[in-house]
Amino acid sequence: MTVPTGDHGDVTMPEPPWCLGDHPFEGYRVDIEHRGEDLVLTVPTPCHGQVPFTTLTLVQRPFSPDDAAVKVTAEVDGDYHDLSSTELAAVADALMSHAAGPFHSLIERLQRLEGDAP
């Protein structure tokens, strides 16, 4: 794959099999990134149906001076966070923990307030 840049001209690099191959002109070589397919996690709402909760995407910035490793970018609260597999596992564990604990406690409390449960 060859990507035109403003600071290094045409940069040729190998393309990982998971990359979608969309590499527009980049001003700087350091900004080149490989991106995979978005995994959009949705949640159901009564007024809008399924709505995005977060979007996860494999990314790699092969010319980054700080970290050229493959990561997952997670969109959370309008910001993007690059996560390693260990960090992504911690996010998944936190979601599972909240779903099993505080979420269900809140559901039970709401059911009592609605009169649907003792």
- In sequence order, what are the beta bridge partners of 44? 50
Model pLDDT for residues 24-76, shown as the tens digit of each residue: 877 899 999 999 999 999 999 999 999 999 999 999 999 999 999 999 999 98
CA distances 19 to 34, 53, 57, 60, 108, Å, are: 5, 23, 10, 9, 44
The residues facing 58 across adjacent strands are 72
Could you read off the pLDDT of 68-110 as tens digits, one per residue?
999 999 998 889 999 999 999 999 999 999 888 888 899 999 9
77: left (phi over 0), alpha (psi -120 to 50) or beta: left
Domain boundaries, the chain: 2-83, 84-118
